[in-house]
Amino acid sequence: MPGLLIQPRLPWLAPLAGYSNLPFRLLCRRLGAAVACTEMVSAKGIYYSLYPDGNRKRPVRLPELNKINDQKGKGTWTLLASPEKDSPLVVQLFGAEADIVQIAAESILELFADRKVYFDLNMGCSVPKVVKTGSGAAMLSNPHNALKVARALIAAAGAGRAGFKLRLGWLNGENIYLELARELEAAGAAWITLHPRYGRQAFTGKADWSKTALLKQNLSIPVLASGDLLSASAAVECLEQSGADAVMFARGAMNNPFIFREFGQMLRGEKPSPPNAKELAAIINLHARLARSWLDEGYALSQMRGFIPRYVHNFPGVRALRQQLTACRSWAQLDEIIATFIQGKELSGEQIWK
């Protein structure tokens, strides 16, 4: 597969709506993420920004990537902010109309004309606002249309450039993933990511890694494992049980971006080294600098107020910290809150992630 190497030692950051924006992708890459996916990008959002009146004979001019990177705004196109160092880049699209997905992919390829970009089509998101459009995991209830959309994306992206993120099926017990994955492979899919739960299941119950193993046995293209990879040890166990080609961290990375480093250490036979208070403070400061560089000032501060409690969730006193962060309205105040919190933990010798 040209340009995108998929191996167990090269972990992925999953597409995470509201989280896997550019600052967090750059942070995770620094800590060992080999591939980082964008947030879910709406194919319709791209399409209607180019054809606001629906008339394909009168397109709006495609924005320039350097302006997207500089504007720190909101909206669909800003989800694609990405400098060269944010590579390899996988853009995750969601949408259930083949022609619209194809136009969106072609437009993104034009935007990144000087870079190699890959695509991942979301057939696994169970969030109601995505599902009600027929996208995400809802596509599993109509495999015929799912394949139609997939073929359109593959045609736009080119060989080796499009993967698909699946669940087992839409309804509990309705296992369509094997047959669909085989047809996706025949259509030219470059990889398949499986979150082994059902769409209606959302995140309840446990991810069934045995289904990932079965999928791996039935495909010749790479299979990525997803679901309940909340620690580096869980990811190593998943690889051993499933034989998957790589792992994709989602919630595990949101709670502990050092998970990529720890995973790499474990694969090398080393004892994982959780971060100490000094490292945690450094990574929070780095994340804040990246957020301020690439996001709107208010949004950047809001993002950090949401991320920091996740980063220190195993510490005592997180509830009080969260209340302080909720009331925080400036970067100076944020710095003071974090410095005080971290200093107390550092002096007490408490470990960040146990």
DSSP string spanning 117-175?
EEEEEEE----HHHHTTT-GGGGGG-HHHHHHHHHHHHHHH-TT-EEEEE-S-SSTT--
Collapsing DSSP to helix, strand or coil, 315 comes out as coil
pTM higher than 0.95: no
What is the rounded average pLDDT of the residues 13-40? 96
Task: Look at 35-49, 70-84, 199-213, 252-266 and tell me which has the smallest mean pLDDT.
Answer: 70-84
d(CA 50, CA 186): 32
Domain ranges for the chain: 12-267, 277-348
pLDDT at 171: 94
d(CA 64, CA 85): 18
Tell me the CA distances in angstroms from 73 to 17, 35, 68, 79, 80, one per residue in order: 16, 25, 8, 9, 11
Name the CATH topology of 12-267.
TIM Barrel (3.20.20)
What is the rounded average pLDDT of the residues 33-37? 97
What is the rounded average pLDDT of the residues 294-318? 88
CB atoms within 10 A of CB 192: 25
pLDDT at 352: 38
What is the total residue count of the chain? 354
Task: Look at 52-56, 132-136, 138-142, 159-163 and tell me which has the smallest mean pLDDT.
Answer: 52-56
d(CA 32, CA 26): 10
Predicted confidence band at 345 (pLDDT cuts at 50, 70, 90)?
A: low
Which one has a higher pLDDT value, 58 or 19? 19
